[in-house]
Amino acid sequence: MKISDVRIRFVRKDDSKLRAVASITIDDCFVVHDIKVIEGADGPFIAMPSRKTNDGEFKDIAHPLNTETREELRDAILAAYNEALAEAD
């Protein structure tokens, strides 16, 4: 798997921990939108796209199946996020 593109859209809400929304392209042929970049206690982290179920829970609608892939996605998205932050300053 090759992450061929990462796009970051900043979210400007002062009362929210949501900082940005990312879209990734995998192998130049598959796109995943709405990956959230959230500010946590230990720094930013990502949350995969999800939907609210009838009982009020949120379930991921797309997610990596193993730790290595999750780490690769996280690292690529957070690197692009930090680069976009630096360019915005």
pLDDT of residue 6: 97
pLDDT of residue 85: 92
Give the model confidence (pLDDT) of 60-76 as tens digits.
Answer: 999 999 999 999 999 99
User: ∠65-23-27 over CA atoms, to 5°?
Assistant: 65
Helix, coil or strand: residue 28 = coil
Give the model confidence (pLDDT) of 7-60 as tens digits.
Answer: 999 998 878 999 999 999 999 999 999 999 999 999 999 999 999 999 999 999
pLDDT of residue 88: 83
C-alpha distances out from residue 38 to 21, 28, 29, 30, Å: 9, 26, 26, 23
Residue 10's nearest CA partner among 22, 24, 20 is 20
Residue 59 phi/psi, 5° resolution?
Answer: -120, 135
